[in-house]
Structure 1
């Protein structure tokens, strides 16, 4: 489940003429048309102000990328703390916001990466639409979820593709999705509609633009330690039970750290993943790989000192 105030993406690079771009995309013996080391490339990260997006910005900056953030509100401190080279303050629902972020990034270095990460998590019980007292609120919530999680990612991917093709370069787009794109929980219909769509968006971009050296993938986290998740736990009827449920759901037996998701994003943006495209990769501690509550081997638990 992504931080509801965050979003990410991927970009491209220059230095190849039109013929080189075509040859590189079609001939596996040629190097993909993406610029040199990360230090010579820029990347846009949406929702870079907090949660997973902030961790992604920090990791990519540490890896040598020139990071431009797209943030909804001022005061995140990402520029002051050196996590972003620049920040565009705008609403991710606005297509032009993404194009402006791309322009800012390209002014600093060729765009080679884009991380779509800004999103929100809200419940939308469909049966409540039949209740006149709740219908308007639920409909408004559903529209917000679809516009931010759906259109926001679409506009981000479009801005990245526009920049890559203008540069006549390849690039990597990474969507931060969710295990809700492949598994469901009660009353999350609109959210899961968008998360499944995010996986489909990566496939569509990968298939349509792969011949030009443009890759697209999705990272699908489960529970991730963010300020949003901490608030969700604190506001639960039984906070201890809420945290225990999130920790014991995945077989790895704990909630992920934001830096662990950022590491997967960094890999998918890097040249190390140059043949990975069109995929949705779960970073969920094997949560979606399991049947649910699992029996434990008492002997192994004792050997490892596990008492839960």
Structure 2
């Protein structure tokens, strides 16, 4: 073996996955980039100086993850796996589209399940301690109108992460999840464009966390890097929120001076 630590990153062609892959590669990891978009994956690979392999495939299918594990062997020793591929479809529960539901469950939930299963199997086969990071969401523990299916899949990701930690910790295998809030990605930019006034939509979302801004993909990637590292050797089964404090915010005083209260009054 060439001494290079290999990591599989799904959804590596854009957004958070792209940020994670490039961040880890810059820190010496050999990378396997998994995505359905061949052109996007090649563009990421071209930006990486270290060893890398590309796997074009749908994470909803188990075979894609087997191919990723095989590609990792051509990069180095597989020590880490990041399940990042995911999609968001917003629709009310009383008007669900069966095909859309199957797709979001396939990518988010089954994609993470198959990736986690393959990672654990590979680690057990080699006897190496390995680390898994699954990309969850603030939606895994909090609700937002008309995101029920997406939120179900993200809660499932938190659950499988805990299961790995409980089942394989004695083999030296760790698993954690990272739950981002609003991150500046092409997908989020497209969602802003769906609003009548995109700039207003952006400002509204930025106002929902104490830091009053969107995260950058590298800010998520830095937490992933930590969780994969020996510095996190005693951290497993956790979901780490990278949300600018969104999940702890009960509310804030109104920006409208006419609506701002100076006293309490709940009792």
Report the TM-score when normalising by structure 2.
0.91
> Is structure 2 residue 44 aligned with structure 1 residue 44?
no
> Is structure 2 residue 162 aligned with structure 1 residue 203?
yes
Equivalent residues of 2:4, 2:75 under 8 A apart: no
* RMSD over aligned Cα atoms: 1.8
Unmatched segments (≥5 aa) in structure 2: 258-267
In structure 2, which of residues 131, 139, 143 is the aligned counterpart of residue 184 of structure 1?
143
In the TM superposition, residue 214 of structure 1 has moved relative to its aligned partner by 0.3
1:108-141 CA distance string (max 9 Å, x none): 2110000000010001311125xxxxxxxx1211
1:1-308 paired onto structure 2 within 5 Å: 40-76=4-40, 77-82=43-48, 85-129=52-96, 138-294=97-253
Change (3 A) 1:281 1:238: same
CA–CA separation in structure 1 for the residues paired with 2:16 and 2:112: 16
In the TM superposition, residue 64 of structure 1 has moved relative to its aligned partner by 0.3
Equivalent residues of 1:66, 1:109 under 8 A apart: yes
In the TM superposition, residue 294 of structure 1 has moved relative to its aligned partner by 4.2
In the TM superposition, residue 78 of structure 1 has moved relative to its aligned partner by 1.6
Equivalent residues of 1:112, 1:164 under 8 A apart: yes
Query: What is the SS of the residue equivalent to 2:46?
Result: coil
CA–CA separation in structure 2 for the residues paired with 1:85 and 1:294: 49
Number of equivalenced pairs: 253
Query: What is the SS of the residue equivalent to 1:87?
Result: strand
1:26-65 CA distance string (max 9 Å, x none): xxxxxxxxxx9xx621000001000000000110001100
Q: Which deviates further from its counterpart, 170-179 or 100-109?
A: 100-109
Equivalent residues of 2:24, 2:225 under 8 A apart: yes
Equivalent residues of 1:124, 1:142 under 8 A apart: no
Unmatched segments (≥5 aa) in structure 1: 1-13, 15-35, 130-137, 299-308
CA–CA separation in structure 1 for the residues paired with 2:181 and 2:219: 11
In the TM superposition, residue 240 of structure 1 has moved relative to its aligned partner by 2.1
Query: What is the SS of the residue equivalent to 1:210?
Result: helix
Q: Which residue of 1 aligns with 2:261?
A: none
Higher relative contact order (CA 8 A, sep 6+): 1
Kindly report structure 1 stretches of 4+ aligned residues shifted beyond 3 Å.
293-296
Equivalent residues of 1:180, 1:192 under 8 A apart: yes
Equivalent residues of 1:120, 1:149 under 8 A apart: yes
CA–CA separation in structure 2 for the residues paired with 1:294 and 1:221: 25
Change (3 A) 1:294 1:276: farther
Q: Which residue of 1 aligns with 2:265?
A: none
